[in-house]
Amino acid sequence: MRLRTQASPADVCIVGSGAGGGTAAYALTNAGLNVTVLEAGGPWDNTTDSAMLTWPYESPRRGASTRAKPFGEFDGCIG
């Protein structure tokens, strides 16, 4: 990711870099447009900001099973 400190003209300005904004920015950039993306949040680091993306062996429930889920977390759906 590159942060710009200088103003430059853009063909498109996308507000929000979520699933829709990120996909739109990718497609428009590949089409040759100059794209600016505005985001309200700070930088996102998947190693510290999301428990969902941790390695399976880091789970405190690793290997734990129940009667309903004999293979623990690896039994399919959670929740």
pLDDT reported for residue 41: 77
Alpha-carbon torsion 78, 53, 43, 33, what sign? Answer: negative
What's the average model confidence in pLDDT over 30-56? 80
Number of domains in the chain: 1
- Whether 4 is in a domain gets the answer no
Count of alpha carbons within 13 Å of 38, Cβ hemisphere only? 5
Is-above-0.75 flag for pTM?
no
Does residue 38 have a pLDDT over 60? Answer: yes
- Whether 37 is in a domain gets the answer yes
Domain of 69 in residue numbering reads as: 12-74
- Whether 59 is in a domain gets the answer yes
In terms of Cβ atoms closer than 10 Å to its own Cβ (0-12, 13-18, 19+), residue 16 is: middle
